[in-house]
Amino acid sequence: MNTKYKTSPHQYWNPYFGGFLLGIIIIFTFYLTGRGLGASGAIKSSVVTVVENVAPKHAESNSYYSQFITDDKSPMNTWLVYEALGILIGAFISGSISGRIKWRVQHSPKITAKRRLIFALIGGILFGLGAQIARGCTSGAALSGMAVLSTGGFLTMLSIFGSAYAFAYFFRKNWI
């Protein structure tokens, strides 16, 4: 018997059931808020708040930042920030209950942990820039767009998976 690859003792949800629940959550979000899900808005609110506190004159004079700054309301007082905090807290609770919280870097034996972290950082930066250019992250642009049968939502989803397949070919040697 080949023991090179051990199976994980952790049980995960069926991905089809998870997708079904995600669809129900998106419909529920549209019903409650009138718009879909999206996490990049919370990051935008955080960045605007930091810039406003560090360099208030710059934030007021900048055309992008100034549109989110008002005297009576903080950029952090939006439901998207609470959504992102809920995701982080929920993930921590789920990881704690299932015993999966550990300080480790998962990587292939073919690369180092440092290289894995560098790739993750570069990927995160590129993803953040892409979300800003696209005016939304995958959940906001693709999932919520598809939920309302938007052509842009379907094109975004096709682009996400198409580019993932294209890049996977070039980076697969880091994982196989």
pLDDT band at 44 (very low <50, low <70, confident <90, very high): confident
Better pLDDT: 54 or 25: 54
3-state secondary structure of 3: coil
The C-alpha atoms of residue 146 and residue 144 are separated, in whole angstroms, by: 5
Q: What is the pLDDT of residue 160?
A: 83
If one counts every other C-beta atom within 10 angstroms of the C-beta of residue 151, the result is 9
Residue 91's alpha-carbon distances to 14, 99, 159, 174, in angstroms, are 17, 12, 27, 27
pLDDT digits (tens, 9 = 90+) for 7-43: 556 567 788 998 898 888 888 888 888 877 777 778 8
The C-alpha atoms of residue 144 and residue 23 are separated, in whole angstroms, by: 9
Please check whether residue 147 is in contact with residue 153, taking contact to mean a CB–CB distance below 8 angstroms: yes
pLDDT digits (tens, 9 = 90+) for 92-120: 998 888 788 888 887 777 788 898 899 88
pLDDT band at 1 (very low <50, low <70, confident <90, very high): very low
Which of 141-145, 150-154, 158-162 is predicted with the least confidence, judged by mean pLDDT?
141-145
The C-alpha atoms of residue 159 and residue 130 are separated, in whole angstroms, by: 12
